[in-house]
Chains A and B, each alone.
Chain A
Amino acid sequence: MTEYLHLFVLLVLIISAFYAIWFRDLLSSILALAAFSLVLSLEFYILQAPDVAIAEAAIGAGLSTAIYLIALRACGRLKKGNGGGLR
């Protein structure tokens, strides 16, 4: 039973990691990365490390997703403007 659960979680992990790279839209890519972190924290919980699971869910799925969203919104505005001289 636990083996099948492990297989399922690892499969979802690989699929979400693949989509995080494969999406052209960066917002979808960030959300796929958040799903990756969430499933990774589930895997940590199954492997009986609830401490690491809480840290992964808070940092990976919460804070770093917010930081990526902030950076993405700033970059989107930059792309819309009349050619910033910074790139």
Chain B
Amino acid sequence: MKPLSIVVRTCCDMFAWFMVVFGSYVIIHGDVTPGGGFQGGAIVATFMALLLVAYGGEKVLSWVKFSFYNGLLIVGLLLFLLFGFSGMANSFFYNFLAVPEAVALAGGAHGIIPPSGTIALMDIAVGIEVTGGLTLILLYMFKGTRMFNLIEMGGETGHDSR
């Protein structure tokens, strides 16, 4: 697949990074505004969609490392489980960072701790996970089409060919 014209490539270069910034905003503010981990992760994964549509599969697949996005998957999952098990003294998923009622009634000075406790941190974990997962789905779609093309060109391909 050939790259598209220079207009499309320049626009996708610029807007891809804006999508990353906006998706990070949606993830981080997921507990107080509409959106959250899943929505923000989907917006961040649009980064790879824009690059794939603009540059074509071969170039992008030579740029990215699959192990990085697999690592994002694992890190997100482990962070979520860590926050889930952190409140195990009371129960699973116990919100151990929540602002105490006395502090909240006195004016809500809680420093850098998010007002919703672990929910904001879990949103960030879900955002990392969904970013890795949706990006991997896009990349494997492209890899599948490349494999299809190899078969069509008559090359010998086994089950484990790349």
Contacts and interface: CB of A to CB of B under 8 A. Distances in A.
Interface string A70-86: 11011001100100101
Please classify the interface of chain A as helix (H, G, I), strand (E, B), loop, or mixed, using the class held by over half of its residues. Answer: helix
A62 B35 CA distance: 16
Contacts, number: 68
Contacts of A11: none
Interface of A: 50-51, 53-55, 58-59, 62-63, 66-67, 69-71, 73-74, 77-78, 81, 84, 86
B93 interface: no
B39 A58 contact: yes
Nearest to A58: B42
A51 B9 CA distance: 31
**What does DSSP make chain B's interface, helix, strand, loop or mixed?**
helix
15 contacts: A50-B34, A51-B34, A51-B35, A51-B39, A62-B43, A63-B42, A63-B46, A66-B138, A67-B49, A67-B137, A67-B138, A71-B141, A74-B148, A81-B153, A84-B151
Contacts of A71: 141, 145
A54 B39 CA distance: 6
A63 B49 contact: yes
Interface string B126-152: 000000001001100110010011011
Interface residues of B, number: 27
B53 A86 contact: no
A55 B138 contact: no
Given A58-B46, A63-B46, A63-B138, A70 B39 contact: no
Contacts of A73: 1, 145
B76 interface: no
B121 interface: no
